[in-house]
Structure formats: C-alpha cells, structure tokens
Amino acid sequence: MHTELNDCVDDFLDNLALQRRLSENTVKSYRRDLNQLVDFAEQQNIQHWSELKTSQVRQFIALEHRKGLSGRTIQRMLSAARSFYQFLIRQGLIDTNPAQAVQAPKTEKRLPSTLDVDQMSALLDQTHPDTFVATRDRAMMELFYSSGLRLAELASLDLRDIDFGDHLLHVTGKGNKDRVCPFGSKALAALQDWLDKRDSLGFYNQTAVFITQQGRRLGVRSIQKRLAYWGKKQGISDHVHPHRLRHAFASHMLESSGDLRAVQELLGHADISTTQIYTHVDFQHLAKVYDSAHPRAKKRKIN
C-alpha cells in the first residue's frame, strides 16, 4: 500500500470533517469511494496522485460499471474523485483534475415511491397514542410528514429547537445548513401528547425530543424500525421508512400548491433539480394544469 496515496485521502477526509463540517455518514461515504480509487491506482502501479491520467479514470469507471454498479453509484464515486482532486489542486500538490471530464454511464431517473393521502391518514390516524412507545412514534411520524424532515434531522432534534408559539422547528440539515420548518396543528397535538407522556414518567432533564423508555436519545436505526413496524401494522404493502414520509410531504405540498421553489426551501435542497426528483406529480394532474393554463389547449364548444 502506497503511503502517499492514503495520506492524501486522509487529509482530504479530515478537511471534510473539520473544515467543511460534513456529517460522519457523508465522510464515510467519501472514504468508501476513494478507497476504491486507491485500490485501482495501486493496481496501475501509481505512486503519486499526479500520475493518474484521464484515460485511467475512464478505465476505473468502466471496471466499476462492469461490476454491476448503478449509474447513480458511479456518479457518486466520480463526484468524490473530482472533489478530492480539487482539494489536491488547492493544496498545490497537482495541477490538473483527471476526473473532471469523465462522464458516468447514463442512469434512468426513477421517481421514488410515495404514500398517497389516504395511506398517510391511515398510518397517522390509526396509530393510537395509548402507550409510551405509540405516543412517541405517532409524534415522530406527524413531524416527518408535517415538516418534511430528514431522518438525521429528526433524530438530533432537541426541545430548544421547537418554537411552540409559532409552530416552527429549527433544524440543521446537510452541510450544517440551518433552516426553519413549520409544522401543523396535528403535529403540535401529537407532540404535546408525547411530551406530557414522557414528563409524567419523570424525563424532565432529557434535552432530546425523542427518547427510549430508558431515557436515552432514540437512534436513527430505532426510528427506522419503528416506522417499518407501523407500516406493516397498517397493512401498507411497500416498506415504510422516514424518506417515504419526507417524499410524501414534498409530493402532497407540490400537488396542492404547485410552488416548486417553496417546496425546495422547506426540504432544504440546495439545487431545485433534487426537489424535482423527490416530488411526484401524476400525468392526470399535469394534463389538468395544461388544459386550464395553455391558451390553445382549451376546448371550444361547437355551435
């Protein structure tokens, strides 16, 4: 193993964690992708990153594609390589970025599956808050759907982040970007029921909003398991997970308002193209918008 190759990767990852303050999971993802590139470079007898050529990056991508990796995964790996090389350029270690002009295989952009309004109503309204766990889980699901939160955002939520008067949540999203998310009356009621329940058991000093029966902050894996449990209990055929509730929030907001920019802000997306992928508007809805809006689409009556 060539020390210089790995040392540069380690320096880059430290920069992501300490300077750019990216999440631990994001840094781990960069490490996995760059480790693949290190392995390839070693197989090519490359000892310094300045020796890697664009043709070799294309060869690396082709090899990964033949392994069966999706276009989306390869796009992520290329993005990691480009970012890494930009870091090396800024450090004065190299002059050019061999990954810059390399394209990933085309990938089909599939809309993620979502839950319709009736499914969401069944999931939320039939989760009766009669126990500690059920009261907590209903409040979690109401907040996911009411505010479009990411899993990590909900898991890290503290009591001080909630503005009960104005019905607002202060969350820190990807890249440590802060945003304010409104939540509705149903979520407020579920949240108050949950806080009353946990206070009645003496958990006054816990700063985390969602906790276990032992008083510890509820982890992301436990939250995922709880949503999957309620999805199965309500007979929802597809797997229910936090991202599907976030997607349902985005889809239903867009279908009702048609305001893509507002939904982008609520979701905390830096790029509106990401919002377009997350949302789901069926063809009938688009056809109605077209028929009502386009001046030459309106049907004329024949006298």
Active site residues: 150, 174, 243, 246, 269, 278
Contact between residue 107 and residue 116 where contact means Cβ atoms under 8 Å apart:
no
Q: Which helix (H) or strand (E) holds 60?
A: helix 54-66
DSSP string, 178-195: EEEEE--HHHHHHHHHHH
Backbone angles phi, psi at 179, to 5 degrees: -150, 165
**Strand-strand pairing, 168-172 and 162-163:** antiparallel
Task: Report the alpha-carbon distance of residue 191 to residue 198 in Å, rounded.
Answer: 11
Backbone angles phi, psi at 217, to 5 degrees: -60, 135
Task: Report the alpha-carbon distance of residue 130 to residue 161 in Å, rounded.
Answer: 26
C-alpha torsion 185→259→253→283, nearest 10? 160
**Residue carrying structure tokens 């991202």:** 243
Backbone angles phi, psi at 122, to 5 degrees: -65, -40
Residue 202, phi-psi category: left (phi > 0), alpha (psi -120 to 50), beta (remainder): left
Q: Which amino acid is at 260?
A: L
